[in-house]
Chains A and B, each alone.
Chain A
Amino acid sequence: MAVRKSIAAMTSAEKTAFATALRQLKSSSPNGRNYNWYIDQHITFFNRTNDNISHAHQSPSFFPWHREYLRLLELDLQAVSDDPDMFLPYWDWTGPASPFTADFCGAVTNGSVSRGNFSPSWGWSLYRSSIQTNFLQRRLGQAASRPSVSTVNAVQSYTVYDQSPWNGGVSNSYRNRNEIELHNRVHNYVGGHMGTREAPNDPVFWLHHCNIDRLWWRWQQNRGVDTYQPRGNVGGVVDNTETMQPFGRTPASVRNISDLGYSYS
């Protein structure tokens, strides 16, 4: 059982182990998936696929799709590190702890991670980058600020999981408010590759999405674990018991994190 910790509570050894496991996954496929597989999936399923569904974003399945996506990565990191307790850490961007340090997700110099962790010389290569560079790019704070505690609380107060038209234009929707006001905003706060469709090139992607998953879990604990919408018979989106590509799992099957083998501290 993985216990996902805040980056503020991680030891130096845990940070090093996490970064090392990510690098190892670049060059190995312990469960038939390497790191770049995750980047491929993010690009593919950000798009509306041939089933006319946007599985990963701008749709109800935003939360469950990423929950399963993160769970698979956690399993792969446990396998590649031979550490069954390896966990995905979460970055609570409302707090002071920063992941952008030389001993963790890499420090930024003039927008580039050019030395140390997650630099090319350390062993981190970019994949399918839409920016022509070998260096991971970040533009901290250039395009957006981090969400405040009050913004997070306002988003968490929405009571309806999602509703028609089930896309990015629905206003009274916890899913859409979280996706745009929190999720998108932090992607834009980090900027650089985190603002692109190949965002998982930046390891901070996982820390950010782990926090998004944590917020959804907290919302579920207040509103109900089995609250996914739509329940069925809605075209163009993933219903509660329809399968999400490429995972073959339904939103219903990932609604309870206890059943998935992890928890949040």
Chain B
Amino acid sequence: MADVKRRDVLRYGAAGAATAASALVGAQALASPEAPAPGPTAKGRKAGPDPDDFNEVYRGKRIRGRYKMGVLGNLDLGNLKNLGADITRTLGLARQNEVFVNNRALAMTAIPTMFFPTDGRKPYVGIGLISAINHYDPVELEPNADCLRSLGKKVVDILGDLELSGESAEEHTH
């Protein structure tokens, strides 16, 4: 049995795992008044004037993003081993996050997954962020924008000298 990674900064009751997706959407609105209303799809978004949580150049490409995890930010990773279909659906809420690489949008979604550290730690269950580019190589969800920054850097590493196409902005839910 894999260890389940726990983070002190992520707290959530077991009730969350049994809450329907629609209810969680409502809870998100109540708990996160600063969260923006659902906007257009990532494909329809343009690089706007909104403040970024990070905006930097990595290997010659500008990566920037905004962290809007909403209800995901309240999840207790200690309960992930019990994730069922309802909570799996809510992971799609993570698509409200934004990452741009050279001003090209990268749609992403969140999945429950196992991580296999190469540093000797035991495998554990967590939430991973995937996009069209890192579809089989999730970046672990963190309670801040660092995970989006890591995702942006991973994508740049994969792209090399190339750029994202419009397909990378197509939303998807798992």
Contact = CB atoms under 8 A, between A and B. Distances in A.
Contact of B135 (A54, A137, A170, A199): A199
B14 interface: no
A81 interface: no
Contacts of A167: 83, 88, 111-112
B157 A142 contact: yes
A80 B95 CA distance: 41
Interface string B34-71: 00000000000000000000000000000000000000
A185 to B, nearest CB: 8
B136 A187 contact: yes
Interface residues of B, number: 38
Interface in A160-217: 164-165, 167-172, 176, 180-181, 183-184, 187-188, 191-192, 195-199
A191 B81 CA distance: 29
Given A137-B162, A143-B137, A192-B158, A130 B132 contact: yes
A93 interface: no
Given A168-B114, A235-B85, A131 B135 contact: no
A70 to B, nearest CB: 18
Interface string B107-146: 0000111101000000101001000111111000000000
Contacts, number: 117
A239 B165 CA distance: 37
B147 interface: no
A150 to B, nearest CB: 14
Contact of A131 (B89, B112, B162): B162
A58 B127 CA distance: 13
Nearest to A111: B160
Contact of A54 (B2, B159, B174): B174
A235 B85 CA distance: 8
A171 B160 contact: no
Interface string A36-56: 000000000011100010100
B173 interface: yes
Contacts of A116: none
A236 B133 contact: no
Nearest to A167: B112
Most chain A Cβ neighbours within 10 Å, of B111, B114, B135, B164: B135
Most chain A Cβ neighbours within 10 Å, of B2, B132, B133: B132
B114 to A, nearest CB: 5
B26 interface: no
B158 A191 contact: yes
Contacts of B80: 169
B99 to A, nearest CB: 13
B19 interface: no
- Closest CB pairs A-B (n = 9): A236-B85, A169-B112, A130-B132, A168-B113, A171-B2, A187-B136, A184-B136, A130-B168, A132-B165
Interface of A: 46-48, 52, 54, 57-58, 111, 128-133, 137, 139, 142-144, 164-165, 167-172, 176, 180-181, 183-184, 187-188, 191-192, 195-199, 235-237
Given A165-B112, A168-B112, A169-B114, 13 more contacts: A58-B174, A129-B165, A131-B158, A132-B165, A137-B162, A142-B157, A143-B158, A169-B112, A191-B158, A195-B133, A195-B158, A235-B85, A236-B84
